[in-house]
Each structure stands twice: as structure tokens, then as C-alpha cells.
Amino acid sequence: MNLVSLAPLLLADGVVVINGLGQARLLQPGENAAPGEVVISPGSQTDSLQVDVIDNNGQPTAISADTQAQNIVEQLEAGQDPTTSEELAPEAGEDLGSSPTVFGAISRDGSETIASTLFETDGSDSVGLSETQSLSLLDLLNTLNQITSEPPNDPPLADNFTFNYAENSADEYVIGKVTAIDPEGLPVSYSIEYGENDPLDGLFEINDEGEISLTPEGVEAFTNDFESDPNSHQITVVASDGVNDTPIVVTLNETDVNEPPVFDPPEDGDEYIFCYDENSPDEYVIGSVNAVDPEGGVVSYSIQYGANDPLDGLFEIDANGNISLTEAGVEAFTNDFETLGNQHQITVIASDGVNNTPITVKLHEQDLNEPPVFDPPEYGDEYIFCYDENSPDEYVIGSVNAVDPEGGVVSYS
């Protein structure tokens, strides 16, 4: 098994053995390590390792894994052989060196002989590990470090987004949804970051799912009215995994909607009320309504009557929104206060050719103090009476009769 395969087993309370050739294996249950082998096992404390070298008697000698690794790295960085040790002075013939330390007796007889020497040496470091064992131990420690080290926490990954939405949207309408993925699989939260004095501050909002919508304030602001510039808005959404933040540029394009005409607010609220005198001629303008198309189109007007509406045909409206009586209306009850029904209600429609807007118009007929009206005599517009000559003064030649439209007392003269 290689070191990459053995490292997780070691973390799972396994025991790894490195022989003199630097070959690593998993120590099987009941198996004993051979002399000269390095035994690595979990330590008594969390995140610690026990490293032992087995001596010739089969007994373990503990060494420090951290110190051993540090010594090997330092010697390699210095360009030295990690299997030699300066403090042991091998060139001076110390026990761990390669110089001879035991000689036989030498007798001088004057003869010349070329001596041959045979040295068998094994490189070892200061604690008795061979070069291959030291390097294998270092590789194993590095592998363990890579497995147990805290993985890097990368910020969430996300692209920039562009969304289109129609003007006059409600605050619950989702304009668009941004998404960010955390490389470590952590949950991602979203927020909107506004700059100082940003006119968009408070007009958009985002929820935990990354869904963007207008706030109630945004619904009533320029952000929801295409006819109010600007129509393209840019916000910065911040995606966070709790440690790192990723800014996301989101462009929100407001699109135009063909809106119906809008009446100018009349003084009395959402309806028009006009008063006019009885006996008005048909050319008299009772009142005027006005509507504006948000898209700047031409607005036309008409009067909408219900089925069997007694007012049908008695009022009219022109292209400028001026309301007046028709010729029939002049002669009808709509122009005579003394005839019951002096308050009339009609519905005016403003149209841009596509959309219509209705509004209620109330027309209040006002009384005039009209002169008395004579009963129509039989012979037209005058009275004709006949009487005999020599009639006394108490004789009644004839009688005239006049009625006050307002019900007042009529006097004659």
C-alpha cells in the first residue's frame, strides 16, 4: 500500500511500519515489527503520533516525529545528506561514521604491499533511521498534514445578473433570483449593499433564497414608473458563506407598460361634480374633464350609459372633454329644475385607443327664479275676451291665470 492509502488508516487507529528500505505497510493484528523498523501509531493525545524505532532486542525506542521531520527538512534545505550527523564527527572515526575505528597490530619489515580495504556502510541519521526510512516518514507526515489541515475557505462563486420587470409591479412580485455556490458547500446568505446617498437605498429587497423584489416604498417610487427616469437600476448583492463575501452586480431593467389614461384629480376626490342652471342652452358647457395618457398618446372621450338609462342621449361630450346638454336634453327634465330628478350621474370614458379609464361625473341642476307662466289661452299666446256694452263695473269681462314655477304667490297688475 502507498502512503496516501495508509495515512487515512493511521488516522483510524491503524499502525504503520516502515522497513529499512523505506517501504511502508499496515501492521497486522498479532504481528510484531522487526528490529530496525519504524513504527508509527496514534498517540495518547488527540492530533498526536507515537513514533518508535525497534532495536535489536525488539524493544521500541521513542523518537519525536516533529523533531525528526524538522531535522530531515533542515538538512535537505542545507544541501546535506540527512543520513549523516556532524556532531558525531564521522570523519574522525566515531562509531556512527565510515572511518575505521579498530586496527590490528602492524609490524614494519620494510616490504612494500598495496593494501586493500573493504568498508560496508549504511547511511543513517542521528536516531538510527536509514535515508529511505527518513524520507518515507517525512512523506507520511506530509500526507497526514494535508489530510488533517484546515481546508481553505473560498468565497461563494457567482456571476453577475440582469433582470427585466414591468412597471407597476407589486411588492410581492419576484423580479429575479440570484444564486451563488459555496465551494465548501456552506449555506449562502444574501444582502443588498448600497453606497452612500444611493437613491436606490430602501427601494429593493432580497430574501434568503436570493429573490429580489421591490419594497413598498419602491412600488411608489420612480423604480416602478417607466415614465420617470431612469429605467435601468444597478444594485450590488453580497453573497456570504459567513466568512467570505462575494459582490454580485445586478442590473434591473424596468420595462414600459401601455397604461390607461389617467384623469386629473378633481377637487372632490375620485369623481367630478358640476353644477348648471336649469334652462341652459345646448351650447352651454356644463363642465370639462381631462385625462392624460402616460405614454403621451391622444385621449378621446365618450359617455357610457347603462341599459334603459333615462339619461341616454340627453348629455354629450366633445373631443376636449367638454360636457353639455344635447338638444333633446335641453327640452327634457334634465333642464327643468321643477321636474323631479335634479341630480344626474353619468360615466365618462377616456381612451388611448387600447385602454379605457372610466370616471363618474355628477351633474347637479340648479333652480332659477323663473317668472310666472300664464296658462296657455285657447287662442295662442294671448287672451281674448268678449263683453257687452253697457256692462257695469262689477261685471267680470274675463280671467287670466299665471303660475309661478317656484310655487310663489302671483300678483297681477
pLDDT at 190: 98
Identify whether residues 17 and 133 lie together within a single domain. Answer: yes
Q: Indicate if 246 and 284 belong to the same structural domain.
A: no
Between CA 117 and CA 99 the distance in angstroms is 11
Mean pLDDT of 215-228: 96
Question: Cell triple for residue 46?
Answer: 488527540
- Answer yes or no: do 362 and 379 share one domain: no
Looking at the structure, tell me whether residues 350 and 249 fall in a common domain.
Answer: no
What is the sign of the dihedral through the CA atoms of 320, 321, 324 and 327?
positive
Same domain, 209 and 142: no
Q: What's the CATH code of the domain at 294?
A: 2.60.40.60
Assigned domain for 281 exists? yes
**Residues 300, 345: one domain?**
yes
Alpha-carbon gap, residue 274 to 363, rounded angstroms: 5
Domain co-membership, 246 together with 269 = no
What's residue 314's pLDDT? 94
Q: Which residues are CB-neighbours of 9 under 8 A, at least 6 positions away?
A: 16, 26
Residue 77 pLDDT more than 60?
no
Residue 406 has pLDDT above 80, yes or no: no
Q: Are residues 350 and 375 in the same domain?
A: no
**Range 223-245 average pLDDT:** 95
pLDDT at 111 over 90: no
- Comparing 139 with 236, the larger pLDDT belongs to 236
Supply angle C-alpha 88, 140, 95, rounded to 5: 15
Whether 156 maps to a domain, the answer reads no
Q: Which domain holds residue 231?
A: 161-255
pLDDT value of residue 242? 93
pLDDT of residue 81: 55
What are the tens digits of pLDDT across the range 273-283?
999 998 999 99
Last residue of a domain, one of 206, 239, 255: 255
194 and 142 in a common domain: no
Does one domain contain both 33 and 130?
A: yes
Taking all residues of the chain, what is their mean pLDDT, rounded to a whole number? 82
Most confident by average pLDDT, 135-139, 300-304, 381-385:
300-304
- State phi, psi for 276 to the nearest 5 degrees: -145, 155
pLDDT at residue 122, as a whole number: 45
C-alpha span between 315 and 330 (Å, rounded): 9
Q: How confident is the model at residue 95 (pLDDT cuts 50, 70, 90)?
A: very low
Give the separation between CA 238 and CA 188, rounded to whole angstroms.
10
The reported pLDDT for the residue numbered 293 is: 92
Q: What is the pTM of this model?
A: 0.50
Residues 339 and 229 in one domain: no
- Return d(Cα 59, Cα 140) in angstroms, integer: 23
What is the per-residue pLDDT for 89? 35
pLDDT at 113: 53
Does position 46 have pLDDT exceeding 60, yes or no?
no
| 113 in a structural domain | no
b/e map 3-41, b = 16+ CB within 10 Å: beebbeebeeeebbbbbbebebeebeeeeebeebbbbbb
**Alpha-carbon distances, residue 11 vs 7, 16, 45, 151 (angstroms):** 6, 10, 13, 17
Q: Is 263 helix (H, G, I), strand (E, B) or coil?
A: strand
List CB contacts of 76: < 8 A, sequence separation 6 or more: 82
Select from 148, 182, 216 the last residue of a domain: 148
Is 111 domain-assigned? Answer: no
Determine, yes or no, domain membership for 69: yes
Is there a domain that residue 62 lies in? yes
pLDDT-based confidence at 407, cuts 50/70/90?
Answer: confident
Are 42 and 142 in the same domain? yes
User: How far apart are the C-alpha atoms of 131 and 165, rounded to whole Å?
Assistant: 70
Give the pLDDT mean for 154-181.
96
Q: Residue 199 domain-assigned? A: yes
In a domain, 155, yes or no: no
Q: How many domains does the chain have?
A: 4
Segment among 46-50, 224-228, 297-301, 304-308 with least mean pLDDT: 46-50
